[in-house]
C-alpha cells in the first residue's frame, strides 16, 4: 500500500510531502515560497536520488528554472501563459539549446521540438490533464496541462497558489478566494477545455 502525507505552513502553502510504501518512506520533498506566494525553490529525494530546483518569476509566469546542472529560460506568447520556447544553458557548455513548444488551443504543451524540428518530447493527455501516454521523452519537460508545472515527486501540478491533482481533476486545497470562486472550493472547472485558470485574477498585478 502506498500513501502520501502533506505538511502546510501557517499560510496554507504546501511545504513538505512524503510518499510511503509498506510503512517505508520512498520519496520526500520540500518547497519554499516568496512573500507573494510564488514557489521559488524545491528539493526532492526519490529513493536516494536528490534533485534541487529554484524558480524566478515575471509576475505570475515562471521566467527561469535553475538546477545545479542547468538553467532554463521560458518564453511565452504575448499577454498569455501559453509557452512558446525554452532556452537551456547547461553547466560547462558555451552554446545554448533552444526548444519550441507546440500547444493546443488552451496552451497545454503537446510536443516540444529542437532547432532542427525533431520531436524531443510528446505526450497524450486524459481529459483532466493526466498524461496517459508519454510518447517521446528525450528531455525533461515539466510544463503540463494549461501551463501547470508537473512535480514528479508527487504527481501533482503546481498551479501558483495551490496544487492540482490530474488523476481526480481537483485541487487538493480549497480556493484561496473562498466562495467568490464558486460553491465547490476544490473544483478545477466544469469542463476542462474551455476553461483556462492557471492563476487567480485578483493577483494579475503581481511583479
* Residues 23-73: tens digit of each pLDDT: 899 999 999 999 999 999 999 999 899 999 999 999 999 999 999 999 999
Q: Which residue has the cell 510528446?
A: 122
List for the chain the helix, strand, coil content (%; round to 5).
5, 50, 45
Q: How far apart are CA 143 and CA 175, in angstroms?
A: 22
Task: Work out the average pLDDT over 5-15.
Answer: 96
Domain ranges of the chain: 2-197
Backbone angles phi, psi at 147, to 5 degrees: 80, 0
Overall average pLDDT of the 94-123 stretch? 97
What is the per-residue pLDDT for 146? 76
pTM for the whole thing? 0.86
pLDDT in the model for residue 185: 56
**Residues near 191 by beta carbon (within 8 Å), at least 6 away in sequence:** none
pLDDT digits (tens, 9 = 90+) for 118-161: 999 999 999 889 999 999 999 999 999 877 999 999 999 999 98
Residue 86 binned pLDDT confidence (cut-offs 50, 70, 90)? very high
Give the pLDDT confidence score for residue 99 in this predicted structure: 99
For the cut 60, the answer to whether the pLDDT of residue 104 exceeds it is yes
Amino acid at each position: 500500500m502506498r500513501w502520501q502525507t502533506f505538511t502546510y505552513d501557517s499560510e496554507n502553502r504546501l511545504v513538505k510531502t512524503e510518499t510511503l510504501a509498506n510503512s517505508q518512506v520512498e520519496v520526500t520533498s520540500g518547497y519554499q515560497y516568496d512573500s507573494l506566494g510564488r514557489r521559488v525553490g524545491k528539493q526532492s529525494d526519490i529513493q536516494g536520488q536528490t534533485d534541487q530546483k529554484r524558480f524566478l518569476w515575471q509576475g505570475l509566469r515562471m521566467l527561469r528554472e535553475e538546477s545545479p546542472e542547468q538553467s532554463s529560460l521560458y518564453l511565452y506568447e504575448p499577454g498569455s501563459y501559453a509557452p512558446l520556447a525554452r532556452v537551456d544553458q547547461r553547466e560547462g557548455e558555451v552554446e545554448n539549446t533552444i526548444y519550441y513548444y507546440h500547444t493546443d488551443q488552451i496552451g497545454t504543451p503537446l510536443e516540444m521540438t529542437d532547432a532542427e524540428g525533431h520531436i524531443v518530447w510528446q505526450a497524450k493527455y486524459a481529459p483532466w490533464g493526466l498524461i496517459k501516454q508519454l510518447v517521446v521523452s528525450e528531455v525533461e519537460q515539466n510544463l503540463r496541462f494549461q501551463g501547470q508545472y508537473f512535480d514528479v515527486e508527487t504527481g501533482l501540478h503546481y498551479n501558483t497558489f495551490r496544487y492540482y491533482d490530474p488523476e481526480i481533476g481537483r485541487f487538493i486545497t480549497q480556493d484561496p478566494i473562498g466562495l467568490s470562486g464558486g460553491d465547490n472550493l476544490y473544483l478545477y472547472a466544469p469542463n476542462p477545455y474551455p476553461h483556462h485558470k492557471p492563476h487567480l485574477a485578483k493577483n494579475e498585478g503581481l511583479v
